[in-house]
Structure 1
């Protein structure tokens, strides 16, 4: 019989799962994405309050309406991304528990709105707005991917709510029937 030990030095009788989410939110990569996201929020606010406001006044007709629509969608998307980042940082800093983080996370909508680049008139929008929209979607895609990976961690956490696994149930029945551990 082999002696198995967990990373923390405790004896383990089985495989140890490493949580991607926990490792990620304590990494320099998280710090980088957090800073990048918050900088994008600040740049967008500065643009929309300054040069963007001036550029919007010169737009006419459907391009003016598109500017208003896309700037609101951009702001909403960035608020959701900033909320996600702030929740993960609060969890990392120990300001909230994992349960609180999950509860708060469920209120954040990381839904993928359609990309506006195919919309008629998009090319008529100011370069500054189009650039911020593209940057926000790139950040949105990365955070959505991280969120899915971190959600899978929660699903696979043995301390989380049990998930019915038919194969594991069958293996358990066989182990009990033959009074032995199958590995």
Structure 2
């Protein structure tokens, strides 16, 4: 038993060390770069490609675009909070309180969904990248802060407005930087 507790403590220390050190910068850069890449794609090439999709493909593209945008807003919010803690602008406790508003659980439609294969390959690769990044960030978050009861609750039982929460969270993070 003692060995397992020691391993869990070491895992937490490693995750915290990664987030609160210079090795955080590549993760931060990857996340922010993906946000920019997705925005450029959705505003340009993606918008043009969506016009040639079938009705089913276009509906799926619209839904997945919204999920992608939400997922990336959540990832960016988490990264900005960690950066604020890293730079000393916020304490770990302040970050923990603010990051409770971040939802790192935005799913995507399964790859076998009707119309998925019709979606542009570049778009699907951005979605896949965002899902991998979200998974990594969520694991780090769980290791550092622990899994929250709110995250374990079914989505329909959660309180609050996720979009409003994200806007407020981004405002908080940017106001400090």
Alignment TM class, shorter chain as reference: 0.7 to 0.9
Once residues 64 and 93 of structure 1 are traced to their aligned partners in structure 2, the CA distance between those partners, rounded to angstroms, is 43
RCO higher in structure (CA 8 A, sep ≥6): 2
How far residue 114 of structure 1 moved from its aligned partner, in angstroms, is: 4.4
Change over 3 Å in CA distance of 1:29–1:115 after alignment to 2: farther
Q: Of the candidates 60, 65, 69, which is equivalent to residue 71 of structure 1?
A: 65
Cα-to-partner distance string for 1:92-129 (whole Å, 9 max, x where unaligned): 10111122101111000111514531211101001111
Q: Of the candidates 42, 47, 51, which is equivalent to residue 36 of structure 2?
A: 42
The alignment covers a number of residue pairs equal to 137
When Rg is computed on C-alpha atoms for both structures, the one with the higher figure is 1
* Structure 1 residue 148 corresponds to structure 2 residue 146: no
Normalised by the length of structure 2, the TM-score is: 0.72
Large movers: runs of 4+ above 4 Å: none
How far residue 139 of structure 1 moved from its aligned partner, in angstroms, is: 0.4
Mapping for residues 122-133 of structure 1, pairs under 5 Å: 122-133=116-127
Aligned partner of 2:128 in structure 1 is: 134
Aligned partner of 1:105 in structure 2 is: 99
Cα-to-partner distance string for 1:3-61 (whole Å, 9 max, x where unaligned): xxxxxxxxxxxxxx663343112333311110000000000000000100100111121
Change over 3 Å in CA distance of 1:56–1:74 after alignment to 2: same
* 8 Å contact kept, 2:68–2:130: yes
What are structure 2's unaligned runs of at least 5 residues?
1-8, 147-177
Aligned partner of 2:75 in structure 1 is: 81
Normalised by the length of structure 1, the TM-score is: 0.70
Structure number with the higher helix fraction is 2
Q: Of the candidates 46, 54, 57, which is equivalent to residue 52 of structure 1?
A: 46
